[in-house]
Structure 1
């Protein structure tokens, strides 16, 4: 029976389903055409499950099962679950990079939440860019939302070696190129390194961003550390569904939770876990969606005072399954003590301090104390200098100590294709002291800011036992990567940043102690070079790519679209 038109439901979805009108009739009748009765949805919170599953996304291959478990939790609490598929960003398969499409998924998330009769949402993601994209969209839509991380895959074994996806792929590929690994062994590693559904089992971007989401209060406590295919993850999915219904009833939105202190917690967490360098770009983008003008300076401030406590690859020894068994993120946050601002509210209705109060470290070698850290300062450093006036970053815990203070001669590659073509050419002249430069690999130049920043070592140096060089680019690198790689140089070369002016043979000075990166060429010479520089032709002239190039910001500003930053509230749709 249709309700009295003056008896409007307090639920947002009631605007669609309650009115005794032609539109209300249409909305209800279409649900009934799918087999639902009034008892299924009338007066109940409608909870959207935004599912980023795809047959080409290994990280999310268990989501068809998990979405049913989320639905079970929603039904248990008297809600009405609706699954809405959104774009799946599978890091391994999508080219040129999923970063090109992060903002597209963010837009889709925001608009899917806004245009449908939704009271709350469960955001299902995990593979790298899905986490920040969905959170960015949810922040902008500002409807009650809770994040369900995909969880890391189980750790793998090859003979007597424990394998970490990503990090060990790079390592053994270098050994194969050096002539130390046969084709048969390489094939064996390929068959076993990705052991199950779930994200990379190292502290790559996926696990880093899941930890950040939890530290910001957007997941249930402990959610970020649970491996993808164990029973605890199924129970987490059900519990997340239950909590989503309560969020709809409480009308607890991202704007009620997120504060400058929440983003400080995100930065501190990223530093303490030795997290992916990509986290900096994503945290800035999320903060600016929430209306906070977060800059690289804040990362530098907190990096100087935050110890690295997680002994996890690529910066440490262990893997995410070990981290979970050792107590997980809640235990690490408790170890951080005053470094974390525990008064921040979280999505389960408690403060962060309350959520971690009973956490316990099971293995102190995996989750260190502040008195016995992996490093006394944060996992990522911000550098500045005349080569990066707007900043760049490096992960010193994953770099070679001998290269942290280094001056060397530049070997410049204008494109990744040129790098691949010339890297092993003896005439290129790469030595152990060289500084490899890759440019035109940033947001504009890539385009899309691809993960090309872990430039390969030439074969002849690998055969000499060299496994690291100073490498500088305006690109990103995978969170599973390692080495002395300076990344996110801003402004990028494609928009005329100083990286565009470097020439072969120029001397480059890197100083981690001083947190500087400098091109040792005088200003007059650089001014002459700039006169002959011209911007490269845009890679895209139409479609989404053209929109991306027109509106994407630089690395230090989060690489979001300029028109998606926090601003005037977008109105809910009119329903006539």
Structure 2
């Protein structure tokens, strides 16, 4: 046992009135006297919900975590946190990531627990849980919900999200019937679990392993695989030991851990959403991490994993091929092998024990699935604070491109005009969407991968350069420039783009420029500022969010939540 007294003993260990109150009320849940003998009290922060396939099975999985905690001599106490169903929440789940983080932070800090098991999986749930726990800095460990089984349709595997976008474009192009499109629906999501592609959920699960905050194989084991129950049980064992050894989240998720995560992100062809999530998590921990780190650190890391949307296979195949530990093995000398993990092993020891079982799914650095992947970080007069592009999901010929802007001022404007056969657009045009950044939507929705105009789809066009201050689904693909900072709503140059303006993308040189002279931009800015209307959001979470949210290059966290915090409460109970 660590010399430092258990935090829970301040509530449950006192033989006075306060101790009486704390013990008596928790005994009402069915706990006997002898569990208050100084054993670690372990919180299980569970985002279970019937609103989301990703986490619908977490109540059952929590039972295996509890079993492991009891076995190791701890006392498990489960408590809820809000679930963020990506496909159900309106206007966008990202609007509520920081709210979840605040709830998790205060729930952990306020209650007499010594460590916490975080349980989640859907896109914004994993970063929200990690951000909240990081701000308290108790011993913590993550259990992801796991991915759903491979989708099946007409004798073929289909992937969550990725094939939705593909099928939808095929219907709009007249190449797929609506009846076939609707029949694919039932076969896409065949079990509990997160998207079976390398979308944001599976990306973040993979990054928990690279960050060292989950046990090996946490990312790829399917949600319904019995081995995920075993992993949950062993996770319960480990959190008790982490408390006894006083291993806190800040000792695990270090600068080295973030660099390993960036390498993992590139190697798996991970979601662009991971960029804002890792930046926000680093901000909570006080770890220096910059947008350009994602480009610089990952330049030597090729695409090693052949999964949709950057490749062919799905998460179930990734599991059978060796999962995240096998990727770390193939990254070899690029990773920080001495980085610690919650398993008690270093990343190097985990990698050494891993095997690759299918080279079609996981390649080698010498024979990768694709070239250096990750994200490209662009700069230029259109994105002075940066924008990102995922080259492995883009059309190579479009990574260097010059075209005229077709501008949509809002997402409503886009929906109203994109199907218009008289829309002035051709294959060389660049679609520009404004008003969808952190403040603008609000919440920075996944609308950056704009569907193409039907008039071009019928001509065989399947990709165009698209630019916005929005995000896109991790399951999506295309030559899509995202997270333009500052966003239009914050007065970034994106707000000043007009129809017909020429824009130049030079991906290899990481530049994105609007070819409009500065004097004209000054005139446009004056007109834009004069025409601004006051925000229609005047109360509640929306107002707090809009007033304090940071831009994409800083992780889209709230400004007053950045920086290290502690597990200390301001006053003792009386």
Q: Distance in 2 between matches of 1:218 and 1:163?
A: 30
Larger deviation: 372-381 or 270-279? 372-381
Bigger Cα displacement from structure 2, 411-420 vs 178-187: 178-187
Match of residue 108 from structure 2: 113
Offset of 1:569 from its aligned partner? 4.3
Does structure 1 conserve the Cα–Cα contact (< 8 Å) formed by 2:137 and 2:565? no
Tell me, what secondary structure is at the counterpart of 1:488? strand
Q: Secondary structure at the match of 2:553?
A: helix
Distance 1:265 1:378 in 2: 15
Matches within 5 A, 1:24-103: 24-103=19-98
1:296 pairs with 2:291:
yes
Q: Find the partner of 1:549 among 525, 546, 550.
A: 546
Please tell me whether the aligned partners of residues 99 and 448 of structure 1 are also in contact (alpha carbons under 8 angstroms): yes
Residue in structure 2 matching 1:523, options 518, 522, 543: 518
C-alpha distance in 1 between matches for 2:239 and 2:565: 27
1:567 shift after superposition: 4.1
**1:347 Cα offset (Å):** 0.7
CA deviation after TM superposition for structure 1 residue 515, in Å? 1.2
> What is the deviation of 1:39?
1.9
Per-residue deviation, 1:402: 2.1
- 2:199–2:270: 8 Å Cα contact kept in structure 1? yes
Alignment correspondent of 1:447:
442
1:421 aligns with 2:416: yes
1:489 paired with 2:487, answer no
What displacement does 1:452 show? 0.7
Structure 2 Cα separation of the partners of residues 568 and 486 of structure 1: 34
Q: Secondary structure at the match of 1:147?
A: strand
Give the distance between the partners of 2:150 and 2:536, measured in 1 at CA.
Answer: 39
1:124-146 per-position Cα deviation (integer Å, ceiling 9, x unaligned):
01101111111111111001100
Selected match of 2:365 from 343, 355, 370: 370
Correspondence 1:140 to 2:138: no
CA distance in 2, matches of 1:462, 1:88: 37
Does residue 241 of structure 1 match 2:239? no
> 1:575 deviation in Å?
3.2
Query: What is residue 3 of structure 1 aligned with on the other side?
Result: none
Please tell me whether residue 309 in structure 1 is matched to residue 307 in structure 2: no
Asked whether the 8 Å contact 1:303–1:381 carries over to 2, the reply is no
**Native 8 Å contact 1:273 1:309 kept in 2:** yes
- 1-structure distance, mates of 2:33, 2:297: 53
Q: For the aligned residues, what is the CA RMSD?
A: 1.4
The answer to whether the Cα contact below 8 Å between 1:9 and 1:43 also exists between their aligned partners in 2 is no
Displacement of 1:378 in angstroms is: 2.3
Stretch deviating more after TM superposition (467-476 or 370-379): 370-379
Cα separation, partners in 2 of 1:460 and 1:158, compared to 1, 3 Å: same
Unaligned residue ranges in structure 2 (runs of 5+): none
Alpha-carbon offset, residue 228 of structure 1: 0.7
Relative distance call for 1:252 and 1:359 in structure 2 (3 A) is same
For structure 1, the 5+ residue unaligned runs are 1-7
Measure the CA separation in 2 of the matches of 1:569 and 1:321: 39
Describe the SS at the equivalent of 2:70: helix
Instruction: Give, in whole Å, the separation in 2 of the partners of 1:567 and 1:14.
Output: 24
Report what 1:560 is aligned to.
Answer: 557
Select which of 241, 262, 267 maps to 2:262. 267
Distance 1:374 1:386 in 2: 34
Task: Tell me: CA distance 1:45–1:317, structure 2 relative to 1, closer, same or farther (3 Å).
Answer: same
- Which of these residues, 2, 16, 26, is aligned with residue 21 of structure 1? 16
Question: 1:538: Cα distance to partner?
Answer: 2.1
Please give the alpha-carbon distance, in whole angstroms, between the structure 2 residues aligned to 1:194 and 1:466: 29
Q: TM-score, normalised by structure 2?
A: 0.97
1:514 to 509, 512, 516: 509
CA contact (8 A) 1:9 1:18 kept: no
2:404 to 405, 409, 422: 409
CA, structure 1 residues 9+491, in 2 after alignment: closer, same or farther (shift >3 Å)? closer
Deviation at 1:531, TM superposition (A): 1.2
- Secondary structure of 2:302 counterpart: coil
Aligned to 2:221: 226
Verify: 1:397 aligned to 2:392, yes or no.
yes
Contact 2:255 2:288 in 1 (8 A): no
Cα distance change of structure 1 residues 136 and 399 upon mapping to structure 2, 3 Å threshold: same
**Distance (Å, rounded) in 1 between the aligned partners of 2:136 and 2:283:** 14
Aligned twin of 2:166: 171
**Residue of structure 1 equivalent to 2:203:** 208
SS at match of 2:198: coil
Q: Identify the residue that residue 189 of structure 2 maps to in structure 1.
A: 194
TM-aligned CA deviation for residue 78 of structure 1: 1.5
In the other structure, the counterpart of 1:5 is none
Instruction: Tell me if structure 1 keeps the 8 A contact 2:69–2:236.
Output: yes
Question: Secondary structure at the residue paired with 1:296?
Answer: coil
Deviations 1:351-405 (A, max 9, x none): 1111221111111121110011233312311111110010000111111122111
Number of residue pairs aligned between Structure 1 and Structure 2 = 569
1:29 CA displacement: 1.1
Aligned to 1:349: 344
Aligned 8 A contact 1:15 1:575 in 2: no
- CA distance in structure 2 between the partners assigned to 1:392 and 1:541 by the alignment: 29
SS of alignment partner, residue 181 of structure 2: helix
Give, in whole Å, the separation in 1 of the partners of 2:483 and 2:422.
28
Query: Among 451, 454, 462, which residue is 2:457 paired with?
Result: 462
1:515-570 C-alpha deviation (Å, 9 max, x unpaired)? 11111111111111111112453241100110001111000000011111114646
4+ residue runs over 3 A deviation: 567-570
**CA–CA separation in structure 2 for the residues paired with 1:272 and 1:60:** 26
Structure 2 counterparts to residues 534-545 of structure 1, below 5 A: 534=529, 535-545=532-542
Kept in 1, the 8 Å contact 2:137–2:566? The answer is no
Q: Which moved more, 1:123-132 or 1:251-260?
A: 251-260
Question: 1:443 touches 1:559 (CA, 8 Å); kept in 2?
Answer: yes
